[in-house]
């Protein structure tokens, strides 16, 4: 099956700085890569996603890049704010089954 | 977007009892639902795929007799933790993909199970 690795596991940045989270996947057939934000005790919320036919996607302060050849994709958050503090998960999917990365706990220091 | 609900949101039970958790898609049909387990500060671990009208598919290492899954209708899947023990205490989350496009997963709010 699919194996998704995510780094770093924890990340602290100063408010206003950028944060980058990286994921790798093993199944070359995976074609959909969403990113989720999860606050403590709450459900994961989709924040951005990318499909295998696209190399980069941006939505305001959030961007995702995908390198299919290397099988890795990254989440970029610019101008971080305290409310960005949460756990972020990447996932790789083929069809309707999703496999999640191990998560990154992001802390934005005011 | 689509809404998935879970019930109960929090349950405490004694060791040896069974607990049923419901996952409902409120405004769409879900032929497939997924059950995840999440330990504190850890990722979502896929436990099983619940299929309407057929048996669930369990991930390696997940005991199917321990975690009974029933996909009774196109909007309801249930997870029953049988003979619960303290090590079963966890956060259980279900999700359902939007059918038939399968473009996105919609997550339930989760159920926190505490086994005393």
Selecting from B91, B105, B108 the residue whose C-beta is nearest the C-beta of A98 gives B105
Minimum CA–CA partner of A86 in chain B:
B41
Q: Report the alpha-carbon angle A64-A92-A98, nearest 5.
A: 130
Q: Which residues of A touch B113 (CB under 8 A)?
A: none
Task: Give the pLDDT confidence of B75-92 residue by residue, as tens digits.
Answer: 999 999 999 999 999 999
- Taking the CA of residue A95 and the nearest CA in chain B, the distance in Å comes to 7
Sign, CA dihedral B46-B76-A43-B10, equals negative
Return d(Cα B60, Cα B78) in angstroms, integer.
Answer: 20
- Taking the CA of residue A90 and the nearest CA in chain B, the distance in Å comes to 10
Selecting from A43, A99, A102 the residue whose C-beta is nearest the C-beta of B107 gives A43
Residue in B50, B39, B47, B38 with CA at minimum distance from that of residue B96: B50
Residue A14 or B51, more confident: A14
Task: Give the pLDDT confidence of B6-51 residue by residue, as tens digits.
Answer: 999 999 999 999 999 999 999 888 889 999 999 887 888 889 999 8
Q: What's residue B101's pLDDT?
A: 65
Selecting from A49, A89, A105 the residue whose C-beta is nearest the C-beta of B44 gives A89
Read off the pLDDT band of B67 (50, 70, 90): very high
CB B14 within 8 A of CB B116: yes
Return d(Cα A95, Cα A88) in angstroms, integer.
Answer: 22
């Amino acid at each position: 099956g699919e194996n998704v690795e995510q780094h770093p596991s924890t990340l602290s940045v100063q408010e206003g700085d950028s944060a980058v989270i990286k994921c790798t996947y093993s199944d070359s057939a995976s074609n959909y890569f969403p990113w989720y934000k999860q606050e403590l005790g709450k459900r994961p919320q989709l924040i951005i996603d990318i499909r295998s036919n696209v190399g980069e996607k941006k939505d305001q302060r959030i961007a995702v890049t995908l390198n299919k050849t290397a099988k890795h994709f990254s989440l970029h958050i610019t101008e971080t704010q305290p409310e960005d503090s949460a756990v972020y998960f990447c996932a790789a999917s083929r069809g309707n089954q999703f496999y999640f990365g191990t998560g990154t706990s992001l802390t934005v220091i005011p | 977007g689509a809404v998935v609900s879970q019930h109960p949101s929090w349950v405490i039970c004694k060791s040896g009892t069974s607990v049923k958790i419901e996952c409902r898609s409120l405004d769409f049909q879900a032929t497939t639902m997924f059950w995840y387990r999440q330990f504190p500060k850890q990722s979502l671990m896929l436990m099983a795929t619940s299929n309407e009208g057929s048996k669930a598919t369990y991930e390696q290492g997940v005991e199917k007799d321990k975690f009974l899954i029933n996909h009774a209708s196109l909007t309801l899947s249930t997870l029953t933790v049988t003979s619960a023990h303290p090590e079963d205490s966890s956060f259980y989350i279900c999700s359902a993909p939007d059918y038939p496009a399968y473009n996105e997963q919609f997550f339930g709010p989760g159920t926190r199970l505490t086994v005393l």
